[in-house]
Chain A
Amino acid sequence: MIEKKIKIINKLGLHARAASKFVNLANRFKSKVRIIKNDDEIDGKSILGILTLAATQGTEIILRVEGEDEEKAIQALENLINNKFQEPE
């Protein structure tokens, strides 16, 4: 299991399109993906869960990935967040 603290840096935060990109990417991996914000832990492979986090710019989340391809998965997901979900701002 790998855990990593990541800051949401894009302007709009985890908005709907960003969330759907995240979910699609997470689903490409076999590992379990969890997002933790404050005390709430949600499934990173499901869009409704991510939307209920309502994570704005500057929010710190913890990614918890567990499974055979965990290293690849956390790397890819972290890149997505740090690249502002590949969206122009």
Chain B
Amino acid sequence: MKKNKSLEKNSQSENFISVKEFFNDGKQLLELTLISSSSGFENNITHSKIQKPGLALAGYVDFIHPGRVQILGKLEINYLKELSSKERLKVLSKIFQKKMCCIVLTSNLDPPDELLNLANESKVPVFKSSLATSQCIERITNFLSKKLAPKKKIHGVLLDIYGQGVLIIGESGIGKSECAVELIVRGHRLVSDDVIEIYRTSEGRIVGSAPPLSRYHLEVRGLGIINIKELFGISSITLEKEIDLIIELKKWEPDVEFDRLGYESMRKYELLGVDLPLIVIPVGPGRNLAVLTEIAVRKHLLDRKVYPASKEITKELENLLKSNQVMNDRDDE
């Protein structure tokens, strides 16, 4: 995955993958085989949405997008096969004058010879997929939107606590990993310690997972690197989790004021352009961080779920009082 550096902080950052990466990582899922030469593997795919050439086959090629995977299904191939070889060559030549990243033929269809020749000449790789067109389009779109999503590595610990994805951040040495170990002992699950790979989904959620090398592992000073999956079993880990809440552990300093009433629970922390709720917990002697973290998550759940309910009941009561008032007024008349 390459990233456009100058736009790194911009949520609209433009990502791309090479056709080579598309083929290597996607060939199993998308059931792809390469049927052209591999020249053009360095072409870039920039969009997760595919394109069906449609009218381009009739000569209207203006809207062919170089960064989108071109899909040819039964309809397109049959149409091409019905043309005379002279017409076919004319139509295809016009299309291949446009830049394209790659072409995928669905349903195991065989391309006309003219298409393959032109593709090799213009360095456009052609793949064949055994999937039906609709299924192929769906899988390519999902695969690419994940690949092209804005992503980043961050420092912290990601856990699943009461089903919520909780990211614990704070300076190194503050006790994030120790807090995580205790949470795991209490039955919660580890996603990743230290380095977390995050990406933004098309729905604007942030999903975190562990880099393959450090997956299942956690470092505790004095004990070294421990394997959580081996020590605590399969139920103590989870591979991927959407982040719902961020907890920052902060050194307790006498001159820093902390939230005493809980009014500030609406603080935000930005990740890849998405604002997530942040709770800051001061670290000090006699404070059990794991328990405090658990309570913070419970509080977050409560704030999110019960608060609207209480609002609703208040509203209902107000309405009821109002209508009773009206009835009473009528009785008085």
Chain A positions near chain B (C-beta within 8 angstroms) = 27, 32, 39-43, 45-49, 51-52, 54
Q: Do A47 and B172 touch across chains, with their CB atoms under 8 A apart?
A: no
Q: Are A48 and B171 in touch, CB under 8 angstroms?
A: no
Q: Is B55 an interface residue (CB 8 A)?
A: no
Q: Interface size on B (CB < 8 Å)?
A: 19
Whether a CB of chain A sits under 8 angstroms from the CB of B49 is no
Contact A46 B194 (CB under 8 A): yes
From B8, B171, B214, A51 is in contact (CB under 8 Å) with B214
Number of A-B contacts (CB under 8 A): 46
- Cβ < 8 Å to A, chain B residues 254-294: none
CA distance A52 to B42 in the complex (A): 27
A48 lies within 8 A of B193 (CB): yes
With A32-B171, A42-B195, A43-B172 in contact, is A48–B153 under 8 Å at CB? no
For A40, list chain B residues within 8 Å (CB): 153
Complex interface: chain B residues within 8 A of A41 (CB) = 153
Q: Is the CB of B172 within 8 A of A46?
A: yes
Chain B residues with CB under 8 A of A47 = 194, 219, 225
Chain B residues close to A by CB (< 8 Å): 3, 5, 8, 152-153, 155, 171-173, 193-195, 211, 213-214, 217-219, 225
CB of B38, distance to nearest CB on chain A (Å): 25
The answer to whether A49 and B194 have CB atoms under 8 Å apart is yes
Interface pair A45/B173, CB less than 8 Å apart: yes
A54: B residues at CB distance < 8 A: 213
Contact yes or no, B214 A27, CB < 8 A: no
In the complex, chain A residues whose CB is within 8 Å of the CB of B5: 39
A-B contact pairs, 18 of them (CB 8 A): A32-B172, A39-B5, A39-B152, A40-B153, A42-B153, A43-B172, A46-B155, A46-B172, A47-B219, A48-B194, A48-B217, A48-B218, A48-B219, A49-B194, A49-B195, A49-B214, A51-B214, A54-B213
